[in-house]
Amino acid sequence: MISNQRKEHIAEVKNIFSAYLEQKSLRKTSERYIILEEIYLRDDHFEAEMLYEELLRKKYRVSRATVYNTLELLISCDLIKKHQFGKNQAQYEKSYGYKQHDHIICVDCKKVVEFCDPRIQQIKTMMGDLLNFKITHHSLNMYGICGTCQKKREAEAVKNATTNQTK
Amino acid sequence: MISNQRKEHIAEVKNIFSAYLEQKSLRKTSERYIILEEIYLRDDHFEAEMLYEELLRKKYRVSRATVYNTLELLISCDLIKKHQFGKNQAQYEKSYGYKQHDHIICVDCKKVVEFCDPRIQQIKTMMGDLLNFKITHHSLNMYGICGTCQKKREAEAVKNATTNQTK
DNA sequence: TTGTGTGCAAAAGCTTTGCATGTTG
DNA sequence: CAACATGCAAAGCTTTTGCACACAA
């Protein structure tokens, strides 16, 4: 079940996309809107292939090429963000109406947690001025071990210690 | 011509690598040292393929597989760092004896500039505590347009304006 | 001597491209 | 109806794997 609030939000995002397509003299194809909608129905970080498969599952007739193509468009008009969390496969997330945030990634279970810190903005401004860059965006990822995986590792360590003792 | 200082630095790094290989019961093969040396002779960010080609050019007989393999080892023992600056192709840089730093990348000319800011460390500590993550490392990249490319864009804009006027 | 590391080539995985067809403006 | 966008499949690129051989321990 999709909430009314979400429906309105998606409608708003579609309007923004429409305006962008018009301004750039690009065509308003059904595929482009289907892809946008599918992204805004999700709440997680996703990969191009996951999105493509989900669309097939829902019996939409779109091709990988169109998915990649549309992702690029959506990045251009700032409706989604693309991330490279160390893997080769890029991850994407919707970005309209969401607070700017950064990510902490668990190197064990790959869980992604979001966080905000105002100091990032300060650093951006300061470094842009200092190095004479017009900074448009940034990507800050912290990597480490989440609480759950820390416990797992400790349990594992105890187990290994016991095994070694028996040897 | 390679300076004495650099020779000493490379020797030091090789010792660290030797110790690491010993500790992990891994073999000290000539290929591993050749790759390490080649990396520490460079001063830039490089890609796996670039390194491989440079080694071939110097008539060393190494394979791509060994290059990738050794890069992984060098990451494990903290002698190099791996970056994903938005492209699919990973970039690497030597890291021993160099201050921890982050990167600003020009989206036009792809130039990479390094910078340091102590606030990053503070954010790492604070967020680790707050979200219960044991943070091991991070990656902060800012993207924008460098001074040179800003001028180029302005010149281009003037040119386009003139052309449109003539229309 | 023994088993790990290597070279080589082929496979795998993500993304892009070319071409014929379909659809938007 | 003329471009432009799409679907499909094939190609492209980076990275990984399998296998036989070489060589460090």
All residues at 6 or more sequence positions from A93 whose CB lies less than 8 Å from its CB, including other chains: A44, A45, A46, A80, A81, A83
Name the H helices within A42-117. 48-57, 64-76
Distance between alpha carbon B42 and the CA centroid of its chain, in Å? 10
Beginning with the edge strand found earlier in the chain, give each strand of the sheet holding B80-83 in spatial order.
B46-47, B91-94, B80-83
Q: Which residue from A117, A124, A150 is facing B123, i.e. has the nearest CB?
A: A117
Distance from CA(B4) to C1'(C13), angstroms, rounded: 44
DSSP state of A25: T
Which of A49, A67, A98 represents a domain boundary (last residue)?
Answer: A98
B81 and B33 belong to one structural domain:
yes
B107 and B71 belong to one structural domain:
no
Q: How many CB atoms lie within 10 A of CB B76?
A: 12
Indicate the average pLDDT of chain A.
90
All residues at 6 or more sequence positions from B48 whose CB lies less than 8 Å from its CB, including other chains: B64, B67, B68, B71, B89, B90, B92
All residues at 6 or more sequence positions from B62 whose CB lies less than 8 Å from its CB, including other chains: B31, B34, B35, B52, B55, B56
Which residues of chain B approach chain A closer than 8 Å at the C-beta?
82, 84, 86, 88, 90, 104, 106-107, 113, 115, 117, 119-120, 122-124, 126-128, 130-147, 150
One-letter amino acid of A133: F
Name the H helices within A2-146. 4-23, 30-41, 48-57, 64-76, 118-131
B2 and B33 belong to one structural domain:
yes
In tens, the pLDDT along A63-86 reads: 999 999 999 999 999 999 999 987
CATH assignment at residue B131: 3.30.1490.190
B45 and B90 belong to one structural domain:
yes
C-beta atoms of A82 and B84 within 8 A: no
A43 and A118 belong to one structural domain:
no
Count of structural domains, chain B: 2
- Measured from Cα to the C1' atom, the residue closest to C8 is B63
In terms of C-beta density within 10 A (0-12 exposed, 13-18 middle, 19 or more buried), how is residue A162 classed? exposed
A110 and A122 belong to one structural domain:
yes
Q: How many CB atoms lie within 10 A of CB A98?
A: 10
Tell me which residue range forms the domain holding B48: 1-98
A88 and A31 belong to one structural domain:
yes
In tens, the pLDDT along A18-39 reads: 999 999 999 999 999 999 999 9
B13 and B73 belong to one structural domain:
yes
B24 and B106 belong to one structural domain:
no
CATH assignment at residue A34: 1.10.10.10
Which of B75, B98, B121 represents a domain boundary (last residue)?
Answer: B98
* Protein-contacted positions of strand C (CB under 7 Å): 4-10, 13-18, 23-25
Which of B70, B98, B126 represents a domain boundary (last residue)?
Answer: B98
Q: Is the CB of A122 under 7 A from strand C?
A: no
Q: What is the DSSP string of chain B?
A: ---HHHHHHHHHHHHHHHHHHHHTT----HHHHHHHHHHHH--S-EEHHHHHHHHHHTT----HHHHHHHHHHHHHTTSEEEE--SSSS-EEEE-TTS---EEEEETTT--EEEE--HHHHHHHHHHHHHHTEEEEEEEEEEEEEEHHHHHHHHHHHHHHHHHHHH-
B26 and B70 belong to one structural domain:
yes
* Protein-contacted positions of strand D (CB under 7 Å): 4-10, 13-18, 23-25
Kindly report the pTM of this predicted structure: 0.85
- pLDDT tens per residue, chain B (167 residues)? 778 888 899 999 999 999 999 999 999 999 999 999 999 999 889 999 999 999 999 999 999 999 999 999 999 999 999 999 878 899 999 998 888 899 999 988 888 899 999 999 999 999 999 999 999 999 999 999 999 999 988 887 787 666 554 43
C-beta atoms of A138 and B138 within 8 A: no
A91 and A143 belong to one structural domain:
no
pLDDT value at residue B3: 84
Tokens of A96: 């309209």
B42 and B93 belong to one structural domain:
yes
